[in-house]
Amino acid sequence: MALTLPAPAKLNLFLHIIGRRADGYHNLQTLFQLLDYGDDLTFAGRNDSAINLQDSLPGVADEDNLVVRAAKALQRFTATPKGADIGIVKRIPSGGGLGGGSSDAATTLLGLNKLWGLALTVDELTAIGAPLGADIPIFVRGHSAWAEGVGDRLTDVELPDAWYLVICPECAVSTGKIFAHGELTRDSRAITIRAFLEQGGRNDCQPVVEKLYPEVKKARLWLDQFASASMTGTGACLFARFDSKADALEVLAQKPGQWQGFVARGVNRSPCHLLL
């Protein structure tokens, strides 16, 4: 039996860094918006315990791929002798702040939990995934959420319907370089969910990213012509909200050819969870 499930992208509708911890990590506030756009993963059982990735990522060894690491972490946690062949149809640009690798890993945990008949809870799957990547829990839980701490304290939210145009410049941003940068704002004041919904927010990483990666600033200025643009995560992808799909597609059609882009609808519930 084969099982195919989506791995949705996410946006950070804002990202405030409110302090640096003693362990070097940063305390932050952000709002994760799930999208109805993403990768597709197919899982098929094997007669042995091997984890076989059928679609390798360029420049990434299979054993370092988050999908393989998540599958093997699930095997260790449950001591299951079962294996799987895993295929991936990639649509989410890598390293763009859209959570592609984390979402693929989360869908792997959810999919293999079902395929192998493990019956683990969402909390158990979250505990397995969290050490592999800070964004994995949001996708395992499968709901748009307000996040605090290092992104680990999640509160489900119901966000209004919206369409987003996402633009991805052709550059790869180093998250470590951004969070280590001396000019990064680390003292933003904490806000409430209501305050963000009423007044909005910003991405504290964006000024540093635009300074180090001029192509991101160029893309943001282009998108700003049509709607207020912001960066997701540590970039390099940017997004703008539109009232309708048609409005977003009209702007996408004018996109300069050197950038990737897509239109997606914001959703509160992960499309992966809707199929499980």
Query: CB neighbours (10 Å) of residue 3?
Result: 17
Helix locations, 27-153, DSSP H:
66-78, 100-115, 122-129, 136-141
Set 39, 82, 104, 135: catalytic member:
135
- In sequence order, which residues have a C-beta less than 8 Å from that of residue 193 and are 6 or more positions away? 31, 146, 155, 157
Give the C-alpha separation, 173 to 163, whole Å.
25
Taking Cα atoms as reference points, which of 36, 50, 87, 77 lies closest to residue 245? Answer: 36
Helix locations, 19-99, DSSP H:
66-78
- 94 secondary structure, DSSP code: T
- 20 secondary structure, DSSP code: E
Q: For residue 10, indicate whether it is catalytic.
A: yes
Q: For residue 218, indicate whether it is catalytic.
A: no
Taking Cα atoms as reference points, which of 95, 92, 85 lies closest to residue 40? Answer: 92
Set 10, 39, 82, 104: catalytic member:
10
Taking Cα atoms as reference points, which of 172, 136, 141, 140 lies closest to residue 151? Answer: 136
Angle between helices 66-78 and 100-115 (to 10 degrees): 40
The catalytic residues are 10, 135
